[in-house]
């Protein structure tokens, strides 16, 4: 490479890495795999190593990727007392040995550095005894927690390593993070009066799948993996939503020097005793062989874990050695990460199909030459959307890399350009719906194209019927094959037609006997007892998933009340933002929807919240409007249930007609200000309890 080529390549790499940092840390939507990212970074590190005069302060090798939000928007930016560093990493066991040897050298242990993984050093003496702690590298987002006298006072994201975003309000809603520790003197090894501890906030695979199901139901793009879901959740503006998403946390680094703690192993044990969640999957290794055994074990077993891991972190155990080893600009020299390769396969892209979902969203799907990957044969993989295809310049006939991440459906992550056949052309994305021919549309800011022909596009119609019948909605027996026949024989072109089915009409179905007819009709009859929140969910109003339907049902009490609610009234309901309120208004303003609702009403579906669903216990708070804020000794859900059980209503924001502002600890300051300005009666949890237990006290 000649000199200007090197400079060009360095510039190119810097630009690409900085761009990918933004996708990863700020947008929580990575465009390339971690492995591809690490390859770019490594190339840059090597070039800069060869040509140190080309290193500039803005190089991504000199600072860590930043997750900071745009200034002045949502979170306060706070300087870290101790910078939050990153970790050097490797995918290679030989490099791990280099790491070990560097440490041996630096601490001036016997001059006989290991050159292999044999149990003895070259002179036959036992290998130097450096102890390492091996921990899982959990794939989430880093958090720095500050405690004062055992009380959680602040939580900061890593940010750019120097400044972090203050996400305390959200972190208070993560159940596994202690907000108040037992008194320090109850421990043999007390915690310091002020200390900082760091860890990883993660989302379990099971929560991740549930969340994505909800997102898909609501027509929102799903998260790519549990890491993005955790990082995205931590930056939400609704602490209630953070609580619902049930994040987890594991701590791994006690930052503050603490009497009696001299090693990483002791620090983890002390943190566990103080009440912090510490991963059980850790090991104190007495030599580098034990380290490699741990790596090999977890490379195989990691898929059994409930949370995503992308490697193992190896840390020198002894804190005095940490001081001796020090750090580079970005990472400590006493630790490194050994990363697992995401399992990849290479195959050929044969063709691309376009699927049309219930909401009209288009998903391109790759048809591949079958290839074996992590235990299954893969024939199809997701291509996400038009931008992704363009970004990777994926063309028909290309040799492509596919990967399975935390998600179940494999995805195409790149192209082997060296194997591109001659005469290929850039991929032409479709302009019209593959099912009904309608020109596709794409809303500003949306990644996916969609077909606007809601009432005439077959997969959208069938998708609505399928959603209506699904287990969590009306729970009507029958799968896609039945829906296909009902639709093609003109027996059901909308969910409302299902209730007009008769034994006579069903006779035309193929492979269908009288028993099947009996079962289907019995199931349709039983669906008339399905509760109102589920009926509301079954209607398929955009963005109204299961949870939103429950809130709406509870708040409005009946479908009529919901239909008659104005945009403003909808926005006042708990957890309903502008986007959902608008979708509900639009839904009810379409006569095709209201006609279907009339037919459902005649069929006898439940359109009202019954007493038992709300578990009403008294009318004490009848007509009273509450707004609640902060944390309580009871869970928030419990407090809300108590209010509704006594006939009250819970609203999202303080307004002139709020009766009570019920405050816990850490009340939202803007709500408090508004409540004071509007002269709303402010009560605490005790006041509230006496209100429902001894009503005369406050009325």
We find the least distance from the C-beta atom of residue 326 to ligand IVH, in angstroms, to be 12
Written as six digits, the tokens of 205 are: 């695979």
Give the containing element (helix H, strand E) for 279: none
- Beta carbon nearer to ligand IVH, 100 or 137: 137
For ligand IVH, give the closer residue by CB, 18 or 613. 18
> Tokens 């979170």 — which residue?
75
Return the residue matching tokens 């080893």: 325
Q: Which is nearer to ligand IVH, 253 or 404 (CB)?
A: 253
Residue with Cβ nearer ligand IVH (87 or 297): 87
CA–centroid distance for 362 within its chain: 22
Distance CA 557, CA 608 (A): 6
Q: Parallel, antiparallel, or unpaired for β 344-356 and 399-403?
A: antiparallel
Around Cβ 441, how many Cβ atoms within 10 Å?
12
Give Dmax over CA atoms of the chain in angstroms. 91
Strands (E), 510-629: 625-629
Q: Which is nearer to ligand IVH, 34 or 48 (CB)?
A: 34
Nearest C-alpha neighbor of 252 from the set 334, 175, 142, 103: 142
Please report how close the Cβ of residue 97 comes to ligand IVH at its closest, in angstroms. 20
Name the minimum Å distance from CB 138 to ligand IVH. Answer: 4
Please name the residue that has the structure tokens 């992704």: 388
Which of 253/550 has CB closer to ligand IVH? 253
* Partners of 327 in beta bridges: 332
Rg over CA atoms, the chain: 29
Residue number with CB closer to ligand IVH (142 or 461): 142
The whole-angstrom separation of Cα 224 and Cα 405 is 8
Backbone angles phi, psi at 210, to 5 degrees: -60, -45
DSSP structural state of residue 73? T
Active site residue 137: yes
Q: Which is nearer to ligand IVH, 316 or 654 (CB)?
A: 316
**Least distance (Å) from ligand IVH to the CB of residue 94?**
21
How far apart are CB 47 and ligand IVH at their closest, in Å? 22
Residue 337 beta carbon to ligand IVH: minimum distance, rounded to whole angstroms? 6
Min dist. Cβ of residue 83 to ligand IVH (A) = 9
Encoded tokens for 512: 């269908």
Q: Torsion over CA of 182, 185, 190 and 193, rounded to 10 degrees?
A: 80
**Sequence-ordered list of residues with C-beta below 8 angstroms from that of 171, at least 6 positions apart, any chain:** 143, 145, 152, 155, 177, 201, 234
Which of residues 135 and 166 has its CB atom nearest to ligand IVH in the complex? 135
b/e code 229-268 from CB counts within 10 Å (16+ = b):
bbbbbbbeeebbebbbbbbbbbbbbbbbebeebebbbbbb
Query: In the bound complex, what is the minimum distance in angstroms from residue 363's beta carbon to ligand IVH?
Result: 31
Toward ligand IVH, which CB reaches closer, 97 or 335? 335
> Are 135 and 252 spatial neighbours (Cβ–Cβ below 8 Å)?
yes
- Tokens standing for 34? 């971690």
Residues sharing a CB contact under 8 Å with residue 215, sequence separation 6 or more, in sequence order: 221, 222, 223
Tell me which of 137, 462, 550, 649 is the catalytic residue.
137
- Scanning 340-454, the segments in alpha helix (DSSP H) are 386-392
Minimum distance between the CB of residue 141 and ligand IVH, rounded to whole angstroms? 7
- In the chain, % helix, strand, coil (3-state, to 5) comes to 40, 20, 40
- Among candidate residues 90, 102, 99, 1, the one with its CA nearest the CA of residue 47: 1
Phi-psi region of 122 (alpha: psi -120 to 50; beta: other; left: phi over 0): alpha
- Cβ-closest residue to ligand IVH? 142
Residue ranges binding ligand IVH (CB under 6 A) = 85-87, 135, 137-138, 142, 158, 200, 252-253, 313, 332, 335, 337
Q: How far is the C-alpha of 144 from the C-alpha of 158, rounded, in Å?
A: 7
CB of residue 133 vs ligand IVH: minimum separation in angstroms? 9
Inter-axis angle of helices 3-21 and 34-50, nearest 10? 140
Residue with smaller CB distance to ligand IVH, 85 or 691: 85
Closest C-alpha to 224, from 27, 450, 393: 27
CB of 516 to ligand IVH, least distance (A): 53
Say if residues 472 and 481 touch (Cβ distance below 8 Å).
Answer: no
Q: Which residues are identified as catalytic?
A: 137
């Amino acid at each position: 490479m000649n000199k200007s080529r090197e400079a060009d390549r360095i510039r190119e790499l810097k630009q690409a890495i900085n761009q990918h940092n933004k996708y990863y840390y700020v947008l929580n939507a990575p465009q390339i795999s971690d492995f591809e990212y690490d390859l770019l970074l490594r190339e840059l590190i090597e070039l800069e190593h060869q040509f140190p005069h080309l290193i500039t302060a803005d190089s991504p090798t000199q600072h860590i990727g930043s997750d900071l939000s745009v200034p002045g928007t949502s979170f306060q930016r706070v300087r870290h007392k101790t910078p939050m560093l990153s970790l050097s990493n490797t995918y290679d066991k030989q490099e791990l040995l280099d790491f070990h040897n560097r440490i041996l050298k630096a601490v001036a242990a016997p001059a006989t550095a290991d050159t292999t993984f044999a149990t003895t050093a070259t002179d036959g003496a036992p290998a130097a005894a450096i102890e390492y702690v091996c921990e899982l590298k959990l794939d989430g987002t880093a958090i720095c927690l500050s405690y004062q006298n055992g009380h959680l006072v602040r939580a900061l994201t890593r940010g750019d390593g120097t400044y972090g975003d203050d996400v305390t309000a959200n972190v208070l809603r993560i159940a596994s993070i202690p907000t108040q520790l037992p008194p320090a003197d109850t421990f043999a090894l007390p915690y310091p009066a002020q200390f900082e501890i760091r860890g990883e906030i993660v989302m379990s695979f099971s929560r991740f799948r549930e969340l994505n199901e909800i997102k898909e139901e609501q027509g929102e793009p799903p998260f790519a993996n549990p890491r993005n879901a955790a990082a995205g959740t931590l930056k939400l503006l609704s602490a209630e939503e953070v609580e619902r998403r049930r994040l987890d946390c594991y701590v791994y680094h006690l930052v503050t020097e603490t009497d009696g703690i001299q090693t990483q192993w002791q620090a983890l044990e002390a943190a566990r005793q103080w009440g912090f969640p510490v991963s059980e999957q850790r090991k104190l290794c007495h030599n580098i062989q034990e380290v490699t055994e741990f790596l090999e074990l977890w490379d195989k077993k990691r898929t059994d874990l409930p949370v995503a891991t992308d490697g193992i972190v190896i840390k020198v155990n002894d804190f005095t050695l940490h001081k001796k080893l020090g750090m580079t600009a970005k990472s400590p020299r006493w630790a490194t990460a050994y990363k697992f390769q995401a399992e990849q396969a290479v195959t050929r892209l044969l063709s691309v199909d376009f699927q049309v979902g219930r909401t009209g969203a288009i998903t391109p799907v790759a048809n591949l030459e079958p290839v074996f990957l992590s235990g299954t044969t893969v024939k199809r993989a997701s291509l996400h959307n038009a931008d992704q295809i363009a970004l990777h310049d994926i063309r028909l006939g290309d040799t492509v890399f596919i990967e399975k991440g935390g998600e179940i459906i494999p995805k195409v992550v790149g192209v082997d350009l060296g194997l591109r056949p001659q005469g290929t052309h850039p991929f032409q994305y479709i302009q019209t719906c593959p099912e009904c021919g309608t020109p596709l549309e794409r809303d500003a800011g949306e990644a996916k194209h969609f077909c606007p022909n809601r009432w005439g596009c077959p997969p959208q119609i069938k998708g609505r019927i399928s959603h209506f019948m699904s287990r969590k909605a009306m729970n009507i027996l029958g799968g896609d094959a039945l829906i296909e026949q009902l639709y093609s024989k003109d027996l059901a072109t909308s969910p409302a037609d299902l209730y007009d089915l008769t034994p006579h009409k069903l006779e035309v179905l193929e492979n269908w006997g009288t028993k099947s007819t009996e079962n289907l009709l019995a199931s349709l009859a039983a669906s008339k007892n399905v509760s109102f929140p589920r009926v509301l969910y079954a209607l398929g109003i955009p963005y109204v998933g299961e949870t939103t339907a429950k809130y709406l049902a509870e708040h409005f009490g009946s479908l009529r009340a919901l239909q008659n609610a104005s945009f403003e009234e909808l926005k006042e309901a708990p957890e309903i933002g502008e986007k959902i309120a608008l979708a509900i208004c639009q839904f009810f303003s379409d006569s095709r929807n209201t006609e279907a609702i009339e037919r459902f009403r005649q069929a006898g579906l439940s359109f009202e919240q019954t007493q038992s669903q709300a578990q009403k216990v008294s009318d004490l708070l009848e007509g009273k409007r509450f707004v609640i804020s902060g944390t309580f000794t009871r869970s928030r859900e419990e407090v809300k249930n108590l209010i509704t059980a006594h006939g009250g209503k819970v609203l999202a924001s303080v307004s002139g007609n709020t009766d009570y502002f019920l405050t816990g600890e850490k009340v939202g300051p803007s709500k408090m200000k508004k409540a004071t300005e509007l002269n709303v009666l402010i009560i605490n949890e005790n006041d509230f309890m006496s209100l429902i237990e001894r009503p005369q006290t406050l009325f």
